Amino acid sequence: MPHVVCLRPVHPEALAQLRAVPGVTVEVLDPVNAETVARSMPNADAVIVRATPINREFLAHAPKLRIVARHGVGYDAVDVPALTERGIPLTVTPDANAACVAEHAMMLLLNVARQTFFYDRQTRALQWSNPPVPATFDLGGRTILVMGFGRIGGRVARLCKAFDMKVLVRDPYIPQNTIKGAGFIPVKDLQAGLAEADVVTVHLPSSAETRGIINGEFLASMKQGAVLINTARGTLVDEKALAAALTSGHLSGAGVDVLWDEPAVESNPLLQLPNIVITPHTAAATEQGLRRMALSCADSILACFDNRLDEDVVINKEVLRGNA
């Protein structure tokens, strides 16, 4: 009898979908700690994970595990090689959160561009547009560099074009003609792209190749007064370097949904700066986005149980070949 363990609650429709299948049992683990993991995971055939690290220590409690379904697209907290060694597929929800994360990136950009946080604070204090008023700007006519042209980056590029922005795209893994065919300008020379862009928005996975990629050199190459938007992963950004660029005025502003250490820690230098908007990793957490991600996880788990798992949602595809 397959048993599914959800590490923290997920959308009730997904739980109902799993429980509607004869023979499948579901357990929601909340809170998730060493004691509850040690008690519940020995019986688990599948797990839905949101933020819990999936490492070798965790896996040692799960001898029956057949699939790890990630509630989202980032998997930097998952030890993929450890799963692969055991032939356990890791699935993500690639189509479920693209729309809401792209909208969140635009929300952060609009907040910085129009200084919404400043005006809200001033109005609540009954200071009706009194000087000094910070510089605001139109998106139309500005140039944005989209770093990463996957599902989310592609959506952001289209939204920016709808705002009449000039859209540059940097993604060495996507053919230049694909980017051109989509109506955008491919960037081969990163330094040239950074020097031209009024805004840089980041949509990259966190990996050994990308971790800390937005460092002092990267930021210094950005245009004077430019804006940085990050809704991808906090570990892409050297936060001390970003704080220095915002403090000096080299960057006029930033909007981020992710931090290197989450939850936020008091020592983070970004928290005290007035020219950055920070949200607590909530870009994908709309009502619709949470539902889509949970249902996608449920679909993957049931497909795994039926030996019909779609390789398009699997990160370590080699395990499918090994199980064929």
Residues 273 and 298 in one domain: no
Under 8 Å between Cβ of 146 and 156: yes
Residues 134 and 120 in one domain: yes
pLDDT of residue 41: 98
Would you say residue 229 has pLDDT above 90? yes
The CATH number of residue 132's host domain is 3.40.50.720
Would you say residue 324 has pLDDT above 60? no
Residues 91 and 112 in one domain: no
Angle at 18 between CA 17 and CA 19, to 5 degrees: 95
Residues 273 and 142 in one domain: yes
Q: DSSP for 70-96, please give it.
A: ESSS--TTB-HHHHHHTT--EE--TTT
Residues 183 and 271 in one domain: yes
The question of whether 61 is a catalytic residue gets the answer no
- Residue bearing tokens 């250490």: 261
- Whole-angstrom Cα distance, residue 67 to residue 48? 9
- Whole-angstrom Cα distance, residue 105 to residue 232? 9
Residues 107 and 253 in one domain: yes
| Strand 3-7 versus strand 46-49 pairing type | parallel
Q: In this structure, how many other beta carbons lie within 10 angstroms of the beta carbon of residue 41?
A: 22
Q: Which domain holds residue 311?
A: 3-95+287-323
- Whole-angstrom Cα distance, residue 45 to residue 23? 12
Structural domain total, the chain = 2
Given 262, 291, 308, 321, which residue is catalytic? 262
The question of whether 239 is a catalytic residue gets the answer no
Residues 234 and 297 in one domain: no
Confidence of residue 132 (pLDDT cuts 50, 70, 90): confident
Q: Is 291 left (phi over 0), alpha (psi -120 to 50) or beta?
A: alpha
Q: What is the mean pLDDT of residues 89-95?
A: 95
Angle at 77 between CA 73 and CA 78, to 5 degrees: 85
pLDDT of residue 128: 86
Q: Which two three-digit tokens encode residue 305?
A: 């149980």
Given 50, 203, 233, 292, which residue is catalytic? 233
pLDDT of residue 323: 63
Residues 291 and 267 in one domain: no
User: What rounded mean pLDDT belongs to the chain?
Assistant: 96
pLDDT of residue 63: 98
**SS3 label, residue 12:** helix
> Is the full-model pTM beyond 0.85?
yes
Given 3, 104, 203, 281, which residue is catalytic? 281
| Percentage of the chain modeled with pLDDT above 90 | 92
**SS3 label, residue 48:** strand
The question of whether 233 is a catalytic residue gets the answer yes
Digit-coded pLDDT (tens) for 136-192: 999 999 999 999 999 999 999 999 999 999 999 999 999 999 999 999 999 999 999
- Whole-angstrom Cα distance, residue 291 to residue 213? 32
Q: What is the mean pLDDT of residues 302-321?
A: 95
Would you say residue 73 has pLDDT above 90? yes
pLDDT of residue 131: 65
Residues 82 and 142 in one domain: no
Phi, psi values for residue 33, rounded to 5°: -145, 180
